[in-house]
Structure 1
Amino acid sequence: MKAIISREPGGPETLSFADIPEPVPGPGEIRIAVKAVGANFPDSLIIQDKYQFRPQRPFSPGFECSGIVDAVGPGVEEFSAGDRVLSMTGHGCMAEKVVTGTERTVRIPDAMPFDEAAAFLVTYGTSHHALADRGRLRAGGTLLVLGAAGGVGIAAVEIGAALGARVIAAVSTPEKLAVAKRHGAADGFVYPAGPFDKDGQKALAAAFKAACGPGGADVVYDPVGGDYAEPALRAIAWRGRYLVVGFPAGIPRIPLNLTLLKGCDICGVFWGDFAAREPEAFRASIADLLRLYGEGKVRPEISARFPLERAPEAITLLASRGATGKVIVTVP
């Protein structure tokens, strides 16, 4: 079968399109004939050995996919050949077939297209866990979303609006602001490109505060990091929750006196470990998301599609922070 393969650490240019043996499911495993793969920023990290875990090489990147179960291993009773599913595998999805466990695989509705399913699990799962669980976002609260037109950003905007919050979108271009508002942001603004000196950070903090209003943001959702983090934290409300989601702009250094002055919490969001450590809560979260999808309250924004052999281009686009919404790799 065909697959995208990482044989050495490096950027997308080090990946190859190759023939590899078809995998065989073992006990408790299923094999999925992949239809679509959701490309994610961590794909650019895992191939450079910069992610939280390092698969043994050679391996195929791709954290999440949708497709059809075409084989089940011994002991599997909850899935059968022919089931339409989405799955979070951690790696291995950029291939015609992938073998995975059943614990992070769920059936999808017949009405859900495979490309939307592949764009769903990581971004919406991350944002739902972040906002509903770690951030304890409530109706009537104010939510500030950084990078609000990216994959997880749009998911956070939609979920925040579905939870009844007032969503403020912070983005890098007017076009991205229009996308965020189309997905439910009540207001927003365009921030300048970093890095920032002290005066630049003060100006950005003032912009965050003006957008959120005098009460500040009850929850700050930050999948950007870098020099944007401290100014966003300065706009947080008393007893607010600052959600640490990702660092494409760099890992920030936060002055902890701000947490004392604001009486606020800084909360880490590691959805992958949440799914592994708390499987019942994970499945309840995904069930709630599929309910919201069925009600039309959440729907992935897919901005680009690449065939499997061009998957490195999808990873390059994400690494450049130029993507709006989700980037999908399709498998014939």
Structure 2
Amino acid sequence: MRAWQIAEPGAPLDVMKLVEGADRPVPGEGQLLVKVRAAAVNFPDALMAAGRYQVRPPLPYTPGVELCGEVAEGPRAGERLVGTAELPAGAFAEYALMDAATALPAPERLDDAEAAALHIAYQTAWFALHRRAALAAGETLLVHAAAGGVGSAAVQLGKAAGAFVIAVVGGPEKAATARELGADLVIDRRTEDFVAAVKAATGGRGADVVFDPVGGPAYTGSTKCVAFEGRIVVVGFASGEIPAPPLGHALVKNYTVLGLHWGLYVTRAPALVRHCHEALTALPAVRPLVSERLPLPAAADAVHRVATGATTGRIVIHP
């Protein structure tokens, strides 16, 4: 089969190699061999390639952590599933492995690319907003990187929850995307001070919930415009800068800083992951924003562009 492989850590364009005669993976106990119908590109794909992610698969490995696949053999042959790939047999290949216990049915209303893009980003946003921050109807939600993969999911889920959604983006193209997603107010951080804009939009009160997959200046600014008893959910550090928050500031302003690592729920509370999938499947307004659908040879460039923040929505690879 054809498969991308990484044999040493480094930048995606340098270390991802497309192999034409790779061995088809062999499923072990509790695993499913699936034909990859679509594989979504994620920011962690680049971090993993560089050896800077909390998950470090053995080398060499096939990258790609999120997919929609069709079971290729056995009693479940033909089932269309979504979920995460069992590394080192990742999703940027014609065949991959999935955990039989955690793979979930692909929603019928979504095509392969949309189904592949539903899992990690929307689960992350759902757990952040509902499980961690308890977002309520009528509250104000501030979303950073709102035109990106996980940010676009947070905008849609925030609107579905009845929140007033403020989207922070970088550039006019991404601003247009955030508006299409349904954001109530869009702030271009390149031309506006988002702190001042949030305060102005809320009458000085600030945002009740902040969804932050960026870190760095996005986090620091958020502490200046979070409401009394507000919640800042730290989802990631796409800026490359991990902030060291002064806890005295959280004390005097009465706000909460929450961490969200969705992957822990897969191992520690899998029933919640399945419940979340059922909730997402039942929301007709939730449809992943797939901006590009590319063939397998384009995977390395796609991972590179996602890592540099040059994309909107989700890029999906079709082997």
Is TM more than 0.5 here? yes
5+ residue gaps, structure 2, are none
Which residue in the other structure is 1:257 paired with? 248
Q: 1:229 aligned to 215, 219, 224, which one? A: 219
Which residue in the other structure is 1:121 paired with? 119
Q: 2:294 aligned to 306, 314, 327, which one? A: 306
Q: Secondary structure at the match of 1:71?
A: coil
Per the TM alignment, residue 211 of structure 1 is displaced from its structure 2 partner at its CA by: 3.6
Distance in structure 1 (CA, Å) of the matches to 2:58 and 2:251: 43
Which residue in the other structure is 1:61 paired with? 63
Q: Secondary structure at the match of 1:120?
A: helix
Query: Does residue 305 of structure 2 align to residue 321 of structure 1?
Result: no
5+ residue gaps, structure 1, are 73-78, 194-199
Contact 2:136 2:162 in 1 (8 A): yes
Distance in structure 2 (CA, Å) of the matches to 1:90 and 1:272: 13
Contact 1:84 1:110 in 2 (8 A): no
Residues 179-218 of structure 1, C-alpha deviation per residue, up to 9 Å, x if partnerless?
112112111211128xxxxxx9xx5532332244422111
Per the TM alignment, residue 20 of structure 1 is displaced from its structure 2 partner at its CA by: 1.6
Q: Secondary structure at the match of 1:298?
A: coil
Question: What percent of counterpart residues are identical?
Answer: 39
Which residue in the other structure is 1:75 paired with? none
Which residue in the other structure is 2:3 paired with? 3
Residues 47-91 of structure 1, C-alpha deviation per residue, up to 9 Å, x if partnerless?
11100021001101111000211124xxxxxx7100011111264
Paired residues for 1:21-60 under 5 Å: 21-60=23-62
Per the TM alignment, residue 306 of structure 1 is displaced from its structure 2 partner at its CA by: 2.2
Contact 1:64 1:90 in 2 (8 A): no
CA RMSD of aligned residues (A): 1.6
Contact 1:220 1:233 in 2 (8 A): no
Contact 1:212 1:235 in 2 (8 A): no
Aligned length: 314
Distance in structure 2 (CA, Å) of the matches to 1:301 and 1:37: 14
Q: Secondary structure at the match of 2:282?
A: helix
Q: Secondary structure at the match of 2:178?
A: helix
Per the TM alignment, residue 103 of structure 1 is displaced from its structure 2 partner at its CA by: 2.8
**TM-score between the two structures when normalised by the length of structure 2:** 0.94
Distance in structure 2 (CA, Å) of the matches to 1:110 and 1:133: 26
Runs of 4+ in 1 over 4 A off after TM superposition: none
Contact 2:86 2:98 in 1 (8 A): no
One-letter amino acid of the structure 2 residue matched with residue 228 of structure 1:
A
Per the TM alignment, residue 253 of structure 1 is displaced from its structure 2 partner at its CA by: 2.4
